[in-house]
Structure 1
Amino acid sequence: MPTAPHPQNTDELFQALQENDRRPYGRTRTVTAEELVDAAEQFAEPVPLIHALLELQEAYTYGSEPRKSPVVFARLLTLFDEQPDVFDERLRHMLFWRFKWVATALRALPEMPLASLRQWLQEMRDRYEKADLGLQPYYGQAYQLAVHTGEDTSLAYELWAGRTRIRLSDCEACEICERALYHLTAGDDERALSAWEPVLAGKESCQEEPARSVSYALLPLLRTGRTDRARELHLVGYRGCRRNPSMSTEVGRHLEFCALTGNEARGLELLAENRNLFDDVDSPMDQLGFLTGVEALLQRVEALGHGELPTAGYPGRSWTVAALRAEVRGRADDLAARFDARNGTTAHADRRRARLDRAPLLDALDLTLRTRSLDDVATAAPAAPRADADLPDSLPELIVRARELDRQGHPDAQACWARLRTLVAARDYTHPDDPAAGPLEQLRADLLADEASRAGDKDEFADAAALHEEAAALYDDAGAAGDAALARACAVLAIAEIPAEDAGGAEARTADAAVEGAEATGTDGAEAKTAVEAEVKAAAGVEAKVIALTAAHASVVRLHEETPGLAPYQEARLLRLRATALGLRLQATGSDEHVAPLLAEVDLLQDFATRHDVGTQISGALLMRASAHALSGDLPAAITEIDALLGRLKARGPAWHLPRTLGLRGRLQLGLRDAQSAYDDLTEGLRLAAEWPADSVDTSRLQGDLAEAAMRLGRPDEALRHLTRSAEVALRRGSRTEAFCSYSNAAQLTLDLGRVEDCIALLDSLLAEPDVVSGELDDRLVAQLRLTRARALRAGEDLKAATAEFVTLAAASAGWDDDPGSHAMIAAETAVLLGESGEFGRAREVADQAIAAHAKDPRYEQLSSCLRELARLQAQQQGPDGLSDALRFLDDAGRIAEEAAAAEYHYHGRSLDSALAYEHGRVNAYAGEYEDALVALEKALSLLGEPGKDDERVGEWAECVRLAGAVEGLYLERPAPALTRLDAAVSRLTALGHTEVTEDLTSLAARLRDEE
């Protein structure tokens, strides 16, 4: 199947070759290169065919297909022998360079006889001598053959390394790597690392460097105690080679590094990310390197007792760690044996055994912000409730204990329900014939109600509602009318909390729940259903939620008033649910009119709980009163209430309410801008939460709030730790959306801190999660993760990867009809990146998309900035040839500024008009239109006006003066008026105390005076 249109002439062929060159190495690029060779053969000219063959050989070489690379090169060599004159200097250089590629390819094939390898090296030497080229590259290949076969390399090394480099020598970075590996093989880690330093520091690089060097340097760095450096380079180096078939050996070394540093779980994650290498690597040598690294990882995982863990492996079947290790071991042993048989040595088997015999170098090294263990990988389920050694052995006693603890709201009820759930699920379960235990239907209802509560805690409101309703029916069967009323009340409230876009019939379920509650108390169900349906359908969005909560409150009130024989704890809970409905309503609106009804319900709850000594609900009432004041904006009153509650809890309990109460007090202190008090409360809350079962306190929320407090106290690294812990806790609880939100915030903070590789590694891990890959996670949240990753790639100066990510995001967000503003911003960033890459045609298309989206949901400043930057880039890169298109970008920016003025938009940054005038000046200057540039800059200065003492625009004004002075004095060669302008500006700025922005003006003035 063709991957591109068939070129009809040589111009189209060269254009197609350029487009293919921008593709990543892999099957698509290789197939396209093969098709382009076929296309080139139709033309009578040899040069297009030469270029097509060169592209094809490159695709084979870096696509890990060494068997095909020499065949293509043989065609090139024949063309050179037949028509040497058609090879210009560049093509001739490329031809002779690729003798080395063929030597490497032949070494990688164990079926290629050693004599053939030596014969090829002799061919290379003869060709180089005939062409009067230096022999250093030949000796470099001879040395690498000696290394490969396991011969004594001393002489071969000296013959190569002692020679002067020539143009055809491998790049400096690659030769540094070979010299370092020589010292590493000799056991001298320090000397190897010293040799590697220019590459590891980024001073020398090429297509495969520093990624290749990094993969070898990781273990020497650990052995010499440079753990932080090893961690840093692992993140950088792995990203440079992941999923790349031609660097599968390097991927294998990163897997081995994970196995030797206590990062087995990360190793399995990286293995899954590189599962394509099991199928895409056609080079036996690369396969051997990759599989040995894979086996080192799997061997370690199996040794730790996790051989049955599922893992990624060869396509076509499912694999466990143990099964894949056995498969990999057999294949890698065979490959090593084949190479050694060809070479007449045991070098490859010996090297493999040495790698597999290595003991871990560290027990643990935190490689990423998302540190996970093999136990985390073994189960995706939330952590089980805390086991309690004091659980009764007697089944009736256990049932009674569970219900009593549940009535108190005690956290240890979780362990009781967990034990009972296991017992009831057993096939041989027999329910006790004991009045204290009640009928089986009641116990099953209890378990459903507990499950429903846990679903509600994770915001799974639809599931919670269904479970509560099922429990209510079973309570009816058991004759427990009060518990049935409670379950129905919880169902009504859960349905009211279902987001409007997810409701999908929530109106009907709310109405049905109201009917059930009404029928249970003998009232008119049809009337209740009609009333609820009318209210819920009356509005959308927040208004719909307010109506739903109001209706839910009315339903709970009816259930409360019309259910006879309620026990005090049941009545107190219904009062609590009534107040909760109104509290949620106030939270949704923040309206003052909703405060008094809530406080009235809280009074009812507190009075009843006090009369009947229901301590849990007294605490709940006081907590809701504090929350009501907070939601109404009266934070001092909320603090007063919360302090009273803390005093009561410390004196009379329940103690398990302290962590939540301290958490609320901490949030209130954040609202009052007292970060230190907030930090102290939240820290104490976390400490106390550790005394109770994990799921009984929302420690994820406490950690998230602590992160905010730490940020306000200027402790970003600590904030980052709390954010990642918050996410980990949420994951263990099964709250994946909440967890990913926290991780997203952590990633953004990491990027803000300049820890680019940490940010990318975290996001790569998250984006590889199964529910992300399968599209189950919210698409907007995934888009936010990818947007942060794209920005991190850009910050890390990986413009190619950043551009690809932005282009994909822009295409995806184009379908966000409900959020065109976000698409406008993503498209704007994408267009700028394309402009930085010189792809102005594509940048124009994406910018037009941003403009169209902006028309639906304006983003004045972001879009204006994008268009101005594109104009600057095009004029800067193309000069006069790009002026017309650059001015078109500025015309669009001008229309955006006019729209903003008409809409009376309030700028958050620079004035769009003055910024636009300045950019007109800069663009015209780049294009050599200096008179127009000066006119535009004069306009910008006029729009800005003279700066004042506290003027925030002083820097912008000074830059306008500087550029106007440069255009006038240097390019228009009118130094006198330029100096007058500059001197006046320096005097004014100095008088206003803005001496920090005068340096560039003074320097330009001095230059103009020197040239007079």
Structure 2
Amino acid sequence: MPTAPQNTDELYQALQANDERPYGRTRTVTAEELVDAAEQFEEPVPLIHALLELQEAYTYGSEPRKSPVVFARLLNLFDEQPDLFDERLRYMLFWRFKWVSNALRQLPEIPLTGLNQWLTEMRERYEKAGLGLQPYYGEAYQLAAHTGEDTTLAYELWAARTRTRFSDCEACEICRRACHHLTAGDDERALAVWEPVLAGKESCQEEPARSVSYALLPLLRTGRVERARELHLAGYRGCRRNPSMAGEVGRHLEFCALTGNEARGLELLAENRNLFDEVDSPLEQLDFLTGVEVLLQRVESLGHGELPAAGHPGRTWTVSGLRAEVRTRADDLAARFDTRNGTTTVTDRRRARLDRAPLLDALELTLRTRSLDDVAPAAPAAAPAPRAAEAVPESLSELILRARALDEKGHPDTRACWTRLRTLVAAPDYTHPDDPAVGPLVLLRADLLSDEASQAGEKDDHAEAAALHEEAAALYEDAGEPGHAAVERGTALLAEAERAEGAEAKAAVLTDAHATMVRLHESTTGLPPYQEARLLRLRATLLGMRLQWTRSEEHIAPVFAELDLLHTFATRHDVAGQISGGLLLRATTHALAGDLPAALAEIDALLERLRSQGPDWHLPRTLGLRGRLQLGLQDAQAAYTDFAEALRLSGQWQGDTIDPSRLLADLAEACMHLGRPDEALRHLTRAAETDLRRDRRIDAFCTYSNAARLSLDLGRVEDCIALLDSVLAEPDVAAGELDDRLTAQLRLTRARALRAGEDLKAATAEFAALAAESADWDDDPGSHAMIAAETAVLLGESGEFDRAREAADQAIAAHRLAPRHEQLSNSLRELACLQAQQQGPDGLPAALAYLADAGRIADEARIADEAGEARIADENRIADEAGEAEHGTHGVSETRGPSLDTALAYEYGRVNAYGRAYEDALAALEKAQALLGEPGPEDDWAGQWAECVRLTGVVEGLYLKRTAPALTRLDAAVSHLTALGHEEETAPLASLAARLRDEE
């Protein structure tokens, strides 16, 4: 707290501000300081308020030892000066007897006699105050359930009584009753009792998160697996990192352990590492530690005891080491409670949890399903076992010669040989074979550098690839291998060309690179056929890339000319790999030229050749291209078949015959075209995990971002949030090492998901943080405009209109630098509606100011459209005069400007109606109708028009009491829509008309 309150008004303001903070040390320390401040004032009532705030902070901050002490002070004040407590303060005081009872139960050092004495005092005070005893019997039952004695009688004495205004909320009592049946072994009855809470019909601050944690295992045991999965995702988010819900977190860890989701359990444990230190309640700590031990015990039993685990801060833990520590602490706590209680109930329940067998071998909890192998620390990559047909020789000389022979053919097993050789050469005792067939060590080092360069290129590290290829070329020259040197320099040229940015710059670089490549080829003599074919392929590839960037018709023929040279040469010398590579490039060129049928014919011929003559390892890449062509030809089923077959075949080969993550992404796209979005989602997440395993992290996180947005579009909100929580917890992402814009995109999607999941507080906080960060994106003001606009709307939904106005002004300022007409206009209109809806006439001026801003943006959009249309008309006129017009390649949306004007007029109508300016509302709605125009039979906006007519009828008929013209308007609209066949849209209009006639 920066400065202590100087008067009681400042104290109350500080108490209100503290009440808005999340529970935790910051809130608790501030509450303590506010009590100190309140003691300086002569008025005792402010001190009562400060003590109530402090007790709440202790209770929900998991500090049960301190809560009863504060309550004792409150009780003394009540006994000494009961008149200080108005009805509200008196209610809060008697309500909190239960808080103290709960706090004392959580402390094993409090003797059982002390607990019973407190219950006796609670009963006596309730009776003296004339209050019903159901809350007292509820606390007595909870003590009986804790000790395990007389639970049946205690339950009946509580559950059979009528609830009072001091009873716990319905949701909490439902949880207690359900847990009673659960303890008795009746899963079905427990779940039936729980249903109102699990369905979201009853809730409170801790519910349904608490009930969900208890219901997970009964749901599994009764076969409700999908429900358990859904509730795990939603329920965990409601309790994570919360010290007062550490037990609930422990039960989610247990759930993971018993459903084959041990890796997710370790991930959640790491996310909740703070609970080892921040939970001051021994009972909550025991509950948490037991859940942790169930998880660690399971991981260790699967042979992963040496995996790292997140435990008590201050040291590094393995699963086995942490399990031993947790077991010791938890056993001690359980023994202390049983000693206090005089029973073995706590230890027995703990042992029952630890003895549970897994309920499912594997349950796909999240979109990012990971195994324990996936979370193990990365080990040095070992060479994958080669196919039996290409077994790696044991002899060093044979290994080197085999690697070169495979490399000459472009065989995928080459990588395994180079990997093994790299390890051997790096060893301190390496001795190079004295074998003329093998050649000198410098030649082998050049081979290995060439392979490293290829790997860098596969990771799109083109600068590194170019440098390594040049270095390899120099070594090849030292070894007397000019042909190899030429191929390396040619490949370096290709890598350098990949680095160029911008279409024009890239086209120029590629043109120059091709000319250099031709000179390099012509100046290198004595090339063996496979090397010459590689140079010809590089020449064709450079021109193919140029065509890809320019799509210029004049660049098509040069590619085919180079491909003809390659095909003729490779066929004459029977270089099979380059024959198929050239044919694949020919099909690609047809596709780039826009002739998809010709490309497909080329691919079909190539596939026939590959299946009859090989090489087999070219099949996956060829099928992948065929699938993309099929998508272009709108045959999604054929595309799906090709992608699936390519993926199957690619698994038979080592190395990078084809990128499996690309195939998985392609499969996802085919699934979307086939209307199978859930399958598409699975392929996207598999693609991302594949990229992670290949250390292509940027690609992986981009794919995860796509998967998250798709899951949100599908309404799988909790899946989306869980996926993004997992991705954002990745070490490099959490440490800020990932591209900041990509991280922001992930967070933005998560914020939108939180909003969709109605977690408005968390969504607003994330949006506000992103808006503050994006304000510094000088190179991307458009994104800041979008984020600030969404932030403003969320603040408006929360009723924080001052902050909403500030965010909206930021969005407008950024929009001036990078226009976002439609998005910003939508947000401003929504803000106007929110303010008028929540504040009525008082909010009307501010709401109209938003609409005025939206009107200026609509004007800007219209001017921009008109300018764009004029420019396109000029371009088309010039093209027509030159005889080069390309029909269908130009066009700006003609609906954006008018649609913004129409939406604006409609919103003026709604806002003025909320602000009770009914004449203005009617005029605006009539304008909106005129802009929309009456719909025709094929128009898909008939529903919008009907709603506009309905609202106009409400304003005219109900608010302005002009029944006759309103009925005329409604009846005409019903007749028009009925004649067009839009009968569904007529129902609201007919209903309003009937109401108006009844009121006449």
Corresponding residue number in structure 2 for 1:33: 31
SS across alignment from 1:242: coil
Corresponding residue number in structure 1 for 2:541: 580
Q: Does the alignment pair 1:691 with 2:652?
A: yes
Corresponding residue number in structure 1 for 2:435: 434
SS across alignment from 1:497: helix
Corresponding residue number in structure 2 for 1:917: 905
SS across alignment from 2:499: coil
Residue 748 of structure 2, aligned match among 787, 790, 795: 787
Corresponding residue number in structure 2 for 1:934: 922
Residue 1002 of structure 1, aligned match among 983, 990, 993: 990
Q: Does the alignment pair 1:352 with 2:350?
A: yes
Corresponding residue number in structure 1 for 2:80: 82
How far residue 269 of structure 1 moved from its aligned partner, in angstroms, is 0.7
Matched residues in 2 for 1:650 and 1:110: separation?
75
Matched residues in 2 for 1:771 and 1:588: separation?
33
CA contact (8 A) 2:861 2:896 kept: no
Q: Does the alignment pair 1:943 with 2:931?
A: yes
CA contact (8 A) 2:412 2:655 kept: no
- TM-aligned CA distance change 1:191 to 1:909, over 3 Å: farther
Alignment of 1:831-870 (within 5 A): 831-870=792-831
- TM-aligned CA distance change 1:95 to 1:544, over 3 Å: farther
How far residue 308 of structure 1 moved from its aligned partner, in angstroms, is 1.0
Corresponding residue number in structure 2 for 1:464: 465
State the TM-score, normalized to the length of structure 2. Answer: 0.94
Matched residues in 1 for 2:854 and 2:39: separation?
48
Q: Give the AA of the match of 2:951.
A: L
How far residue 28 of structure 1 moved from its aligned partner, in angstroms, is 2.2
How far residue 985 of structure 1 moved from its aligned partner, in angstroms, is 1.9
Corresponding residue number in structure 2 for 1:886: 847
How far residue 9 of structure 1 moved from its aligned partner, in angstroms, is 4.3
Matched residues in 2 for 1:434 and 1:733: separation?
36
Corresponding residue number in structure 1 for 2:60: 62
Q: Does the alignment pair 1:904 with 2:865?
A: yes
Deviations 1:97-121 (A, max 9, x none): 1111111111112222322222222
How far residue 131 of structure 1 moved from its aligned partner, in angstroms, is 1.2
Q: Give the AA of the match of 1:865.
A: N
Deviations 1:637-665 (A, max 9, x none): 21122222122212211111111011101
Q: Does the alignment pair 1:341 with 2:329?
A: no
CA contact (8 A) 1:252 1:291 kept: yes
Corresponding residue number in structure 2 for 1:315: 313
Corresponding residue number in structure 1 for 2:555: 594
Matched residues in 1 for 2:513 and 2:84: separation?
85
Matched residues in 2 for 1:666 and 1:11: separation?
71
Q: Give the AA of the match of 1:475.
A: Y
Matched residues in 1 for 2:703 and 2:497: separation?
26
Corresponding residue number in structure 1 for 2:281: 283
Taking only aligned residues, the RMSD between alpha carbons, in angstroms, comes to 2.0
- TM-aligned CA distance change 1:174 to 1:613, over 3 Å: same
Corresponding residue number in structure 2 for 1:230: 228
Alignment of 1:511-910 (within 5 A): 541-693=502-654, 695-904=656-865, 906=893, 907-908=895-896
How far residue 373 of structure 1 moved from its aligned partner, in angstroms, is 0.8
Structure 1 range deviating more: 263-272 or 449-458: 449-458
Corresponding residue number in structure 1 for 2:302: 304
How far residue 83 of structure 1 moved from its aligned partner, in angstroms, is 3.2
Matched residues in 1 for 2:937 and 2:297: separation?
69
Q: Name the count of aligned residue pairs.
A: 970
Q: Give the AA of the match of 2:983.
A: T
Corresponding residue number in structure 2 for 1:118: 116
Q: Does the alignment pair 1:958 with 2:946?
A: yes
Deviations 1:928-949 (A, max 9, x none): 2212222222222233333333
Q: Give the AA of the match of 2:949.
A: V
How far residue 976 of structure 1 moved from its aligned partner, in angstroms, is 1.6
Corresponding residue number in structure 2 for 1:413: 414
Matched residues in 1 for 2:379 and 2:461: separation?
16
Matched residues in 1 for 2:145 and 2:935: separation?
69
Q: Give the AA of the match of 1:396.
A: S
CA contact (8 A) 2:500 2:509 kept: no
Q: Give the AA of the match of 1:971.
A: Y
CA contact (8 A) 1:383 1:732 kept: no
Corresponding residue number in structure 2 for 1:477: 478
How far residue 385 of structure 1 moved from its aligned partner, in angstroms, is 4.7
Deviations 1:818-860 (A, max 9, x none): 2211221122112111111111111111111111111111111
Q: Give the AA of the match of 1:414.
A: R
Alignment of 1:329-408 (within 5 A): 329-380=327-378, 384-388=382-386, 389=388, 390-408=391-409
- TM-aligned CA distance change 1:554 to 1:113, over 3 Å: farther
How far residue 727 of structure 1 moved from its aligned partner, in angstroms, is 1.7
Deviations 1:184-211 (A, max 9, x none): 1112222222221221122211111111
Q: Give the AA of the match of 1:435.
A: P
How far residue 977 of structure 1 moved from its aligned partner, in angstroms, is 1.8
Matched residues in 1 for 2:58 and 2:468: separation?
59
Matched residues in 1 for 2:850 and 2:9: separation?
29
Matched residues in 1 for 2:378 and 2:17: separation?
43
CA contact (8 A) 1:385 1:695 kept: no
How far residue 543 of structure 1 moved from its aligned partner, in angstroms, is 2.8
How far residue 621 of structure 1 moved from its aligned partner, in angstroms, is 0.9
Q: Give the AA of the match of 1:562.
A: S
CA contact (8 A) 1:385 1:693 kept: no
Corresponding residue number in structure 2 for 1:208: 206
Matched residues in 2 for 1:605 and 1:852: separation?
56
SS across alignment from 1:241: coil
Q: Give the AA of the match of 1:925.
A: A
Residue 323 of structure 2, aligned match among 307, 317, 325: 325
Deviations 1:655-685 (A, max 9, x none): 1111101110110111121212212221222
Corresponding residue number in structure 1 for 2:968: 980
Matched residues in 2 for 1:847 and 1:10: separation?
35
How far residue 80 of structure 1 moved from its aligned partner, in angstroms, is 2.4
Provide structure 1 residue ranges, at least 5 long, that are not aligned to the other structure.
Answer: 501-540
Q: Give the AA of the match of 2:213.
A: S
How far residue 233 of structure 1 moved from its aligned partner, in angstroms, is 1.4
Provide structure 2 residue ranges, at least 5 long, that are not aligned to the other structure.
Answer: 867-892
How far residue 811 of structure 1 moved from its aligned partner, in angstroms, is 1.8
CA contact (8 A) 2:259 2:359 kept: yes
Matched residues in 2 for 1:47 and 1:830: separation?
39
How far residue 762 of structure 1 moved from its aligned partner, in angstroms, is 1.2
Alignment of 1:67-216 (within 5 A): 67-216=65-214
CA contact (8 A) 1:727 1:738 kept: yes
Corresponding residue number in structure 2 for 1:270: 268
How far residue 330 of structure 1 moved from its aligned partner, in angstroms, is 1.6
Matched residues in 2 for 1:82 and 1:886: separation?
52
Q: Give the AA of the match of 1:866.
A: S
Q: Give the AA of the match of 1:498.
A: R
How far residue 758 of structure 1 moved from its aligned partner, in angstroms, is 1.4
